Each structure stands twice: as C-alpha cells, then as structure tokens.
Amino acid sequence: MTPELMEAGAEALTRHAEADVQKDSSGGSASFGRPVHGLTPDFGTGVALYVDDITVSFDGFKALNKLNLMIKVGELRCIIGPNGAGKTTMMDCITGKTRPDSGTVSFGQNVDLLRLRENEIAEIGIGRKFQKPTVFEQLSVFENLELALKADRRPRASLWHRLTGAQLDRIGEVMTLIHLGQQAQRQAGLLSHGQKQWLEIGMLLMQDPKLLLLDEPVAGMTDEETERTAELFLSLEGQHSLVVVEHDMHFVDQLTEGKKTVTVLHEGSVLAEGLLSDVQANERVVEVYLGR
C-alpha cells in the first residue's frame, strides 16, 4: 500500500471520529490498550494457557466436565469434537463470558483469568474470533484496522489521535498478511465472506494478542480462501498461540502438517489428544464423531 492511501485512510477515520463526537459528547468508553491491574502475564515456563479441571453445569447438565487443556507459547492447536462437546463453552470460560463452577484457568503462570472481566481478558492479550464475521461494514478496510489499534478509543482521543509511522507500518503489514493489501479503501461491507473473516482476524492482530481463539474460521469459505487461511495461520504460529475450533478435517490436516497435536472433546472432557492420524484411527473418536 502507498503512503498516500494510508494518509487517505487516516483522514477518513478522522472524519468518522468527528461524526462520533457530534453524536456522543458523553466521553464514551475505551476498550483497548488499558493496563489490567498492573498484571503482566509470565510466560517463563513456555505455557500460554492452562485450563485445569474446569466444570460448567447448566441446570445440572455438565457442559464441561473436569476439562484439562494446556497450550504452549506459540503453539497452534486444533480442537475438534461433535456438536455439543463443549468447545464453545470452553472458549467462553477462557474469555470470561462463562464462569466455571470449579477448576482454574490461567494465562501464563501467574494470571488467574477467572478473576478478570471479559474486557480485561481481551486487554491482557487474548483475542477471540467468533464464527460470524463482525466488521464495521460502513468503514474501509484501513479504518477497521485503525479502529482496532491499541489506543484510547474515546471519540475525543480518536479525533486528536494521529497515527505514528510505526502504526501506519503495522496497518500496512497486517493488510498484506491478511491478503487485503490492495483493498485498503474498499468498504468492508463489499468484501467477500472470506475477506471479512480475514479482516476481523487482522483487527485482532492489531491488538497484538498473545493467544488467539478462532471458532470455525473457514466455515463458508471457498477452497481457495480456506487454503489461504491455513497459510495465514501457519505464518502466525510461533508469534502467537492459536486455538482453532474446526469441523473441517482437511483444514485441520493442513494446519497440523502431520506433526501437531489435535485435541478431541466429547461430553465436556478430552476424549483423545495426539496427531490427527492417531485420533482419526481412535475407535472411540470414530464412534462419537468422525464416523458419523
């Protein structure tokens, strides 16, 4: 992307910020970039996330039943399992949407996620992508990415906020990464389904999360888009930990490259964990999931 295009994007955003100020003079609320109780996650042991023995009951029904999961720093982990296995509930517990009845969830070795609110968990470095894309349809690709920057998003702050060279570079870098380098000024609402998904992933990346939770990211994508999404995730591996919930076994195969661990959930617990080829050969996994 050219500097002119970036400048045009920045100007367009300022216009939106001005409009926001006219609509909302209350000061609004900032959601990005604030310190979280002075806490900095300690990843010294090489572990990004510990889910330890969590149970979640809904009216006596155990959606999660003593679930354990450990994700290393920089790891790309695929989670599979039949409908109702507890995958969404597990993500809800990590992101603070649901509180487990028992067990612990830690980020690094020192941050107890169960003591933080949803927005604090996002701020401390855990990004979540839901299945449906949620981008600002009226704004351009550039503006969506700028809005997601770690900064004070109150309208007044937005109005006076000028992008630094480093921020412009980062937006350019992310646009290239998500294959939207040529679409900076395109209105997000006009993008294809796959492109919207990439844009939302780009918005998460602007906040530089340590851990990304991705729920069925390739559902509804074309084969080519799925292929490109696999390439994108593989390029993020190492710099971020990624937890990908997916039903598409071809995509899981692409992501795991025959060497990474896959976790199979069933009835709220881990049914099997290992290489995709091993879990595919596991009789119980075939019985409850793959054989259906």
Ligand X SMILES: Nc1ncnc2c1ncn2[C@@H]1O[C@H](COP(=O)(O)OP(=O)(O)OP(=O)(O)O)[C@@H](O)[C@H]1O
Contact residues toward ligand X (CB under 6 A) are: 58, 63, 81, 83-89
- Closest CB to ligand X among 62 and 186? 62
- Closest CB to ligand X among 87 and 210? 87
- Closest CB to ligand X among 77 and 170? 77
Shortest approach of ligand X to residue 63 CB, angstroms? 3
Which has the closest alpha carbon to 285: 274, 56, 256, 53?
274
- Closest CB to ligand X among 86 and 194? 86
Which has the closest alpha carbon to 192: 167, 224, 169, 161?
224
80 forms beta bridges with: 264
- Closest CB to ligand X among 37 and 292? 292
- The pair of structure tokens assigned to 187 is 């209105």
Shortest approach of ligand X to residue 86 CB, angstroms? 4
- Closest CB to ligand X among 85 and 191? 85
Q: How far apart are CA 72 and CA 107, in angstroms?
A: 11
Q: How far apart are CA 22 and CA 29, in angstroms?
A: 15
Shortest approach of ligand X to residue 279 CB, angstroms? 16
- Closest CB to ligand X among 49 and 175? 49
Q: What is the 3-state secondary structure (H, E, C) of the chain?
A: CCHHHHHHHHHHHHHHHHHHHHHCCCCCCCCCCCCCCCCCCCCCCCEEEEEEEEEEEECCEEEEEEEEEEEECCCEEEEECCCCCCHHHHHHHHCCCCCCCEEEEEECCCEEHHHCCHHHHHHCCEEEECCCCCCCCCCEHHHHHHHCCCCCCCHHHHHHCCCCHHHHHHHHHHHHHCCCCCCCCCEHHHCCHHHHHHHHHHHHHHCCCCEEEEECCCCCCCHHHHHHHHHHHHHHECCEEEEEECCCHHHHHHHHCCCCEEEEEECCEEEEEEEHHHHHHCHHHHHHHHCC
- Closest CB to ligand X among 80 and 211? 80
Shortest approach of ligand X to residue 70 CB, angstroms? 19
